[in-house]
Structure 1
Amino acid sequence: MLLIRLFAVAFLFSYSALAEDLRLVYPHFPPYTKQQQPLAAGNFLVEKIMQQLQQGYSTKQVPNYKRALSEVQYGEADGFFFASQNSQRDSVAVFSKSVLYNNWSWFFRYDRYLDPYSSEFKSDAKVASIEGTNTLRWLNTHHYHVVGKQSNVAKLAIMLFDLERIDAAFMSADVFKSSEVHPNLVRGEYIEVVQRSAPFGIYISKAYLEQHPGFMQRLNSAINVVQKTYLDSSYTLPGLIREP
Structure 2
Amino acid sequence: MALFISLFTISSGYAKTIGPSRLMLTTQDWAPYQFHQNTEMKGLAIDTVKCALGSISQPYQLTMTNWSEAQLRVQSGAQHGFFLASESQERNEYATLSAPIAKQTINWYFGSGVKPTINELSKLNLKFSAKFGSNKWFWLKRHGFNVIKQPRDATVLLTLLKRREIDIVLEDQRVFDNALESAGLAKDYFRSKHMETKQMGVYFSNQFLNEYSGFLDSFNSAVKKCKG
Give the aligned partner of residue 81 of structure 1.
Answer: 83
- Three-state SS of the structure 2 residue aligned to 1:35 is strand
Measured after TM superposition, the shift of residue 16 of structure 1 is 8.2
Whether the aligned pair in 1 keeps the contact of 2:112 and 2:162 (CA below 8 Å) is no
Equivalent residue letter for 2:207: A
Measured after TM superposition, the shift of residue 110 of structure 1 is 5.0
Give the aligned partner of residue 177 of structure 1.
Answer: 177
- Three-state SS of the structure 2 residue aligned to 1:105 is strand
Query: In the TM superposition, what whole-angstrom CA distance separates every residue of 1:126-177 from its partner, at most 9, and x where no partner exists?
Result: 1111111111011112211112221122221221112x12211111111111
Aligned equivalents of 2:209, 2:128: Cα separation in 1: 38
Measured after TM superposition, the shift of residue 202 of structure 1 is 0.4
Aligned equivalents of 2:216, 2:17: Cα separation in 1: 18
1:121 corresponds to 2:122:
yes
Measured after TM superposition, the shift of residue 90 of structure 1 is 1.2
Aligned equivalents of 2:173, 2:102: Cα separation in 1: 13
- Across the two proteins, how many residue pairs are aligned to each other? 210
Equivalent residue letter for 1:56: P
Equivalent residue letter for 1:85: E
Aligned equivalents of 1:187, 1:50: Cα separation in 2: 34
> Do the aligned partners of residues 152 and 190 (structure 1) sit closer, same or farther apart at CA in structure 2, a change above 3 Å counting?
same
Equivalent residue letter for 1:60: T
Give the aligned partner of residue 221 of structure 1.
Answer: 221
Aligned equivalents of 1:160, 1:177: Cα separation in 2: 14
Whether the aligned pair in 2 keeps the contact of 1:135 and 1:172 (CA below 8 Å) is no
- Three-state SS of the structure 2 residue aligned to 1:104 is strand
More deviation, 118-127/100-109 = 118-127
Equivalent residue letter for 2:101: V
Aligned residue runs from structure 1 range 161-200, under 5 A: 161-162=162-163, 164-179=164-179, 180-183=181-184, 185-186=185-186, 188-200=188-200
More deviation, 142-151/78-87 = 142-151
Unaligned runs of 5+ in 2: 1-15
Query: In the TM superposition, what whole-angstrom CA distance separates every residue of 1:17-63 from its partner, at most 9, and x where no partner exists?
Result: 74511110001111111122471111111111112222111101011
Give the aligned partner of residue 136 of structure 1.
Answer: 137
Identity between Structure 1 and Structure 2 (%):
22
TM-score by length of 2: 0.85
Aligned equivalents of 1:18, 1:220: Cα separation in 2: 13
Give the aligned partner of residue 54 of structure 1.
Answer: 57
Whether the aligned pair in 2 keeps the contact of 1:114 and 1:121 (CA below 8 Å) is no
- Three-state SS of the structure 1 residue aligned to 2:192 is strand
Aligned equivalents of 1:84, 1:187: Cα separation in 2: 24
Whether the aligned pair in 2 keeps the contact of 1:131 and 1:149 (CA below 8 Å) is yes
Give the aligned partner of residue 103 of structure 1.
Answer: 105
Give the aligned partner of residue 238 of structure 1.
Answer: none
TM-score by length of 1: 0.79
Equivalent residue letter for 2:126: A
Aligned equivalents of 1:19, 1:89: Cα separation in 2: 22
Equivalent residue letter for 2:70: A
Structure having the higher Rg: 1
> Do the aligned partners of residues 38 and 69 (structure 1) sit closer, same or farther apart at CA in structure 2, a change above 3 Å counting?
closer
> Do the aligned partners of residues 121 and 134 (structure 1) sit closer, same or farther apart at CA in structure 2, a change above 3 Å counting?
same
Equivalent residue letter for 2:212: H
- Three-state SS of the structure 2 residue aligned to 1:148 is coil
What is the CA RMSD across the aligned residues, in angstroms?
Answer: 1.9
Give the aligned partner of residue 147 of structure 1.
Answer: 148
> Do the aligned partners of residues 18 and 97 (structure 1) sit closer, same or farther apart at CA in structure 2, a change above 3 Å counting?
closer
Aligned equivalents of 1:41, 1:204: Cα separation in 2: 19
